Amino acid sequence: QMPYGQVDKLSKMVPQNPANPVKLADAIANEPRFAEEAEREPIVQTLLDMAQKLEGLYRHASTHAAGIVIGDRPLSELVPMYRDPRSDMPVTQFNMKYVEQAGLVKFDFLGLKTLTVLETAVKLIRRRGIEIDLATIPLDDPETYAMLSRGEVVGVFQVESAGMRKALIGMRPDCIEDIIALVALYRPGPMENIPTYNARKHGEEEMASIHPKIDHLVKETQGVIVYQEQVMQIAQELSGYSLGEADLLRRAMGKKIRAEMDKQRERFVSGAVERGVGKPQADFIFDLLAKFADYGFNKSHAAAYAVVSYQTAYLKAHYPVEFLAASMTLDMGNTDKLADFRQDALRLGIEVLAPSVTSSFRPFEVGENRIYYS
């Protein structure tokens, strides 16, 4: 047995990097204090030896929140299965890495409460004789972008937080591409590029050229590499990668496997040099891509979320009564959210009336510029 404080002190010597975890052997080799502690107390060496033997073993079994594996026959014929005691759905014993190696496809199906908010709002609007098809609403609506640029985002999907509101006000978006970029950029790491994106968008800073052959690939994002797809396109355009090779490059950069990265660097640089790019610049661009690949976001994912965000903003800008009533219905059990929605409704000049025996039902109901409490 060892005192908790001593173990805590040792554990803090291991660098914490969830995106690229450091192996314990590497941490011990690079941190001389481990050797000092082990020499002072033999039990520390015993602990380090045991920890290295346990490293990499599965700690427990759990079920992915949204991962669905799809095969061309019953999965029990392809991979080992087990029954999760908390669910009726059978689960693969393989994790997502081994499922892929087995030749199966894993999809993430995410359930969004916001989709129900949109559906509820559209039904309320229909009562006024107005039919809204969210798939065909204009993506260049000035009122919607003006509202977003003012930071009036209570209830708007993905952009409600104080930080996101500040980013929107600074960006002053005027097209769906801006919303897509913001969804991808507003995360630890890429967030530091938001001021650069905004300054270039509004002409306060000149867009720096990476290389004439690839500048057009980052023009949409103000010269900032934001998406994984951009990394792949640059490799194709600059170094002659096939689409499959570019995807392998993206994965290698994300995992930061040294041997694979060295192999990819040689392939990338030699391909770029063959196409007239100088070796120092090719090395620089590879390092630039590797840096962004640490947190590069999938554009299709960002686009899907951005469209839902825009749809909620559009309904709020044009049909605030119905949108806020739908939002309140779906957050009925969250008193803090209800207070936010009520305050926003009052700001917009919408009455929020107490429950009425004749007008209130389980969902929040709407009237002429008013919302009846559930």
Ramachandran angles phi, psi of 201, nearest 5°: -60, -35
Instruction: Name residue 91's beta-bridge partners.
Output: 82
β-pairing, 67-70 vs 105-108, is antiparallel
Mean pLDDT over each residue of the chain, to the nearest integer: 91
Mind listing the pLDDT tens digit for each residue in 173-205?
999 999 999 999 998 878 899 999 999 999 999
**Domain locations along the chain:** 4-54, 67-108, 143-299
Mind listing the pLDDT tens digit for each residue in 199-233?
999 999 999 899 999 999 999 999 999 999 999 99
What DSSP state is assigned to residue 152? -
Closest CA to 272 of 249, 303, 305: 249
Report the pLDDT value the prediction gives residue 365, as an integer from 0 to 100.
Answer: 87
pLDDT band at residue 147 using 50, 70 and 90 as cut-offs: very high
**Residue 51: C-alpha distances to residues 30, 34, 140, 240 (Å):** 17, 13, 56, 44
Report the pLDDT value the prediction gives residue 19, as an integer from 0 to 100.
Answer: 60
Mind listing the pLDDT tens digit for each residue in 34-91?
999 889 899 999 999 999 999 988 888 888 888 999 988 999 999 999 988 888 889 9
Closest CA to 218 of 247, 181, 250: 181
Q: pTM of the entire structure?
A: 0.78
Binning the chain into helix, strand and coil, the percentages to the nearest 5 are: 55, 5, 40
Ramachandran angles phi, psi of 299, nearest 5°: -65, -40
359-364 mean pLDDT: 75
